[in-house]
Amino acid sequence: MPECDVWWARPVDPEGAAALVSLLDAHERERLGAFRREIDRARYLAAHALTRLVLGERLGADPASLVLDRTCRCGKPHGKPRLAAGGPEFSLTHSGDRVGVAVSADGPVGLDVEQLRTLSDLDGLASHALSPTERREHPPADAGAFLTTWTRKEALLKATGEGLSSPMAAITLGPADGPATVREWSGVDAPAGAVWLVDLLPDPEHPGALAGFGTTAPRLRVRDGDECLRDLIATRP
């Protein structure tokens, strides 16, 4: 049976984690330095360092030596990252007090997490992200319901590699308070075959979702990403 590992961790302040910063390549360090807010730097560092650590462990390679290809279909380096030399598929995400990394040897995956929060324009967001059928049959009752739907859709779009460049409204899901199901997916970016979709909950304040291709979801193994990050900081301060 296919398997997928998911690591969850908390943000890490770069000021006290030189060992993690040393894992990043030039592009990642440039991105890290461009963030103005401390929390954004902390989330970015934890997510990208954790990605390198888990991929390095999987491949038996130095995490800092891994070469990532981020080429988008437009030709610019802001697409879904992948290993330039080939290898496991992976997806990373971060929001609020959580970062996550999913790794699979059985095909592309998409992982997303969102922090529960107040949304000032719920109707406007719903009109952008929900399909006409969703808006008519089960509009979101509150911010939590909307964010559950959002994580499910973003996970699906990350699995395709298109991310938010592809319209969420082309996807019709079941109600947020029911099982994660894809009822319809239209448009040029819609996959030709079946897709699977599962809800994840790293903690009650951070709903998440994982998606991929096929008729059956893989066996999930949830791992402690905080421990991975702590171990490296402790051995290489």
CB 14 within 8 A of CB 21: yes
**In the prediction, which pLDDT does 75 show?**
66
Q: How far is CA 33 from CA 26, 30, 55, 106, 217, in A?
A: 11, 5, 23, 34, 37
Provide the residue ranges of all domains of the chain, joining segments of one domain with +: 1-89+221-237, 107-217
- Look at domain 107-217 and name its CATH class: alpha beta
Kind of pairing, strands 219-224 and 3-9? parallel
Superfamily of domain 1-89+221-237: 4'-phosphopantetheinyl transferase domain (3.90.470.20)
In 3D, which of 210, 119, 202, 217 has the Cα closest to residue 157?
210
**In the prediction, which pLDDT does 235 show?**
78
In 3D, which of 9, 232, 209, 218 has the Cα closest to residue 104?
218
**In the prediction, which pLDDT does 78 show?**
67
Could you check whether 1-89+221-237 and 107-217 share the same CATH topology? Answer: yes
Radius of gyration, CA atoms only, the chain: 18
CA angle 165, 100, 220 (to 5 degrees): 105
Each residue's pLDDT tens digit in the chain (237 positions)? 889 999 999 999 999 999 999 999 999 999 999 999 999 999 999 999 999 999 999 999 999 999 999 877 666 666 788 999 999 999 999 999 999 999 999 999 999 999 999 999 999 999 999 999 999 999 999 999 999 999 999 999 999 988 777 899 999 999 999 999 999 999 888 999 999 999 999 999 999 999 999 999 999 999 999 999 998 988 775
